[in-house]
Amino acid sequence: MRLLWITGGLIALGCGFLGLFLPLLPTVPFLLLAAFCFARSSQSLHDWLVAHDTLGPPIRDWRDRGAVSARAKRFASVSAAAALVLTWALGFGTLALAVQAAALACVLTFLWTRPDA
């Protein structure tokens, strides 16, 4: 079981790392998942990730206060709008746009109701 948790953590960490460079791939949810997996498999990997200068602060903010940075909230909002525009530009139907808009509205409502980091 430990190997599965480590593997899941490494995959999530890889996806989170890609999210640093790919605009529509979220970074923090993958980092939170990686920290969760590492906490169940490797204390040293968990401690390294949480203490990391770049990757650690959003994890600590979420763990300590359930907080999300204002920068991350703005970026998520811009990304959600870009996803909707892309869906519309690709010619998806009204139903697809409505479902996507509703899902994104729920995500953004959740994010914007979290305290600022």
pLDDT digits (tens, 9 = 90+) for 4-31: 999 999 999 999 999 888 877 888 899 9
**In sequence order, which residues have a C-beta less than 8 Å from that of residue 26 and are 6 or more positions away?**
19, 76, 79
Give residue-wise pLDDT tens across range 28-42: 899 999 999 999 999
Given this model, what pLDDT does residue 12 score?
97
Q: Which residues make Cβ contacts (< 8 Å) with residue 107, sequence separation at least 6?
A: 76, 80
pLDDT at 11: 97
CA 2 → CA 5, 6, 14, 18, 55, distances in Å?
Answer: 5, 6, 18, 24, 23
pLDDT in tens, 65-116: 999 999 989 988 998 999 999 999 999 999 999 999 999 999 999 999 999 9
pLDDT, residue 22, reads: 82
Question: For residue 40, with 0-12 CB atoms within 10 Å meaning exposed, 13-18 middle and 19 or more buried, which class applies?
Answer: middle
Give the three-state DSSP class for 25: coil
Return the pLDDT at 73.
92
Segment 39-58 shows an average pLDDT of 95
